Amino acid sequence: MDQENPLVDWAARTGPGPIEGVTAASAVGAQLSAALYVLEPGVVVPEHSHPNEEFGQVISGSLELLHAGTTHVLGAGRAFLVAGGVPHGARAGDDGCELLECYAPPRG
């Protein structure tokens, strides 16, 4: 984390995401990390869990969030909060999805 410049330039941080069909950019602080993901249409994020709490905000497009056996469809402006250790997965809508996520504690 840069103490002199608090601004995040997502474009300068963009690279391959955690799975094929996803690009990602991230910023990591002492107590929080954030990631901007772009998911191609129909991309499936397999069910997984991690110890971090996860907040997600759909910026554009749509996302199907699988959580506790229920699928929630989120469009632009909708958000979710998943507790650490809870299995969840997702699928990008037919128009893809741009998604801002924050994690606490930070993910490396």
- Write out the two tokens for 19: 């799975």
Domain chopping of the chain, boundaries: 19-104
Give the separation between CA 97 and CA 93, rounded to whole angstroms.
7
70 C-beta neighbours (distance < 10 Å), count:
7
Superfamily of domain 19-104: Jelly Rolls (2.60.120.10)
Report which DSSP code applies to 10: H
Residue type, 10: W
Report which DSSP code applies to 29: -
Residue type, 71: T
Single pTM value for the model: 0.92
The pLDDT tens digits along the chain (108 residues) read 566 789 999 999 999 999 999 999 999 999 999 999 999 999 999 999 999 999 999 999 999 999 989 999 999 999 999 999 999 999 999 999 999 999 999 987
Report which DSSP code applies to 32: -
Residues in the chain: 108
